[in-house]
């Protein structure tokens, strides 16, 4: 088998079937016994934060219209009509409260990007032969392919590099020009993109103001990459996540801890990281 994968982030743009969702537990167990099933998991705190960035901070008209307006209507006092109609300015606290409330009362209604991994990947029913982690993806995926045998991996990356990220943004900006701007025009799209790149660890504070995204095009991505690219340490990127969690009230933060607990226990992550929960 010759497998040539260049960007696993493209998986999120594919319409993939929800495996085993309609099967009974006993059927799932029987089917998975004869299959080579692999599950990759991610730190639940990082995964939840990423869900907010990708679906609500970054310009995402679909999620704004389907989820954003309802979230704002329910969790924001004195919300403007525009915010409730467009759903473009959901805060991290509002998003988190929506997620934990939905999970507590109607867990099956929680969208798969936000729901706990155990809820839709069913590790207690499916006989996964290997469970890997996104934090050690390179090492773990090599082990997977070693176990499968006779697979030639030409190129493989789990994260986009800066130029790939900019290319996707350039394509998105071109798309935004051709859609209804009633809601999209009400937000500073360029500032949202800059903040997204900052929180994802692609931009440092000193380079945010130098990022003139209005002239970004697919044809000049390499030029932007040369000027702006710099390596952000894992610690600095982590601190950006931590500061958002610390901005939540103690009560809501404790609810987040309960929300992620099962995934943390099942997959070996810290339930209550010191940098998030301790002052």
Confidence category of residue 6, pLDDT binned at 50, 70, 90: very low
The mean of the pLDDT values for the chain is: 82
Query: Quick one: which of 104, 109, 75, 102 has its CA closest to 90?
Result: 75
Say whether pLDDT at 176 is over 80: no
- For residues 84 and 73, is the Cβ–Cβ distance under 8 A? yes
Measured from the Cβ of residue 156, the count of other Cβ atoms closer than 10 Å reads 16
Top pLDDT among 84 and 6 is at 84
- For residues 152 and 139, is the Cβ–Cβ distance under 8 A? no
pLDDT digits (tens, 9 = 90+) for 199-218: 988 877 777 776 777 777 77
pLDDT of amino acid 169? 83
User: Which whole number is the average pLDDT over 173-182?
Assistant: 73
Confidence category of residue 252, pLDDT binned at 50, 70, 90: very high
- For residues 194 and 211, is the Cβ–Cβ distance under 8 A? yes
pLDDT of amino acid 78? 95
Say whether pLDDT at 28 is over 70: no
pLDDT of amino acid 182? 73
pLDDT digits (tens, 9 = 90+) for 253-271: 999 999 999 999 999 999 9
Mean pLDDT is lowest, of 63-77, 150-164, 250-264, for 150-164
Measured from the Cβ of residue 114, the count of other Cβ atoms closer than 10 Å reads 20
- For residues 191 and 213, is the Cβ–Cβ distance under 8 A? no
State whether the Cα torsion 104-27-15-195 is positive or negative. positive
DSSP 213: G
SS3 content of the chain, % helix, strand, coil (to 5): 60, 5, 35
Distance, CA of 162 to CA of 226 (rounded, Å): 10
pLDDT of amino acid 53? 97
Confidence category of residue 149, pLDDT binned at 50, 70, 90: confident
Mean pLDDT is lowest, of 24-38, 86-100, 201-215, for 24-38
pLDDT of amino acid 147? 84
User: Which whole number is the average pLDDT over 145-156?
Assistant: 68
What are 155-161's contacts with CB under 8 Å, separation 24+? Answer: 155/4, 155/5, 155/6, 156/5, 156/6, 156/8, 157/6, 157/7, 157/8, 158/8, 158/9, 158/134, 159/9, 160/7, 160/9
- As a whole number of Å, the CA-based R_g of the chain is 20
């Amino acid at each position: 088998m010759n497998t040539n994968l260049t960007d696993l982030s493209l998986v999120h743009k594919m319409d993939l079937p929800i495996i085993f969702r309609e099967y009974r537990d006993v059927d799932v167990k029987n089917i998975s016994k004869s299959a080579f099933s692999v599950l990759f998991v991610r730190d639940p705190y990082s995964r939840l934060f990423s869900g907010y960035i990708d679906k609500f901070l970054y310009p995402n008209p679909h999620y704004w219209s389907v989820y954003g307006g309802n979230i704002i209507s329910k969790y924001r006092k004195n919300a403007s009509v525009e915010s409730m109609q467009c759903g473009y300015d959901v805060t991290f606290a509002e998003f988190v409260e929506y997620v934990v409330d939905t999970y507590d009362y109607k867990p099956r209604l929680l969208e798969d990007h936000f729901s706990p991994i155990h809820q839709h990947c069913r590790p207690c029913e499916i006989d996964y032969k290997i469970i890997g982690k996104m934090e050690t993806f390179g090492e773990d995926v090599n082990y997977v392919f070693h176990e499968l045998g006779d697979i030639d991996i030409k190129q493989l990356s789990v994260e986009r590099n800066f130029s790939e990220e900019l290319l996707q943004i350039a394509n998105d900006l071109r798309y935004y020009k051709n859609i209804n701007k009633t809601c999209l025009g009400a937000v500073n799209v360029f500032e949202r993109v800059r903040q997204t790149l900052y929180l994802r660890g692609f931009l440092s504070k000193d380079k945010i103001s130098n990022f003139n995204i209005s002239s970004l095009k697919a044809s000049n991505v390499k030029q932007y990459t040369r000027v702006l690219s710099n390596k952000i340490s894992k610690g600095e990127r982590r601190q950006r996540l931590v500061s958002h969690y610390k901005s939540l009230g103690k009560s809501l933060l404790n609810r987040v801890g309960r929300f992620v607990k099962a995934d943390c226990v099942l997959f070996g992550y810290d339930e209550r990281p010191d940098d998030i929960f301790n002052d």
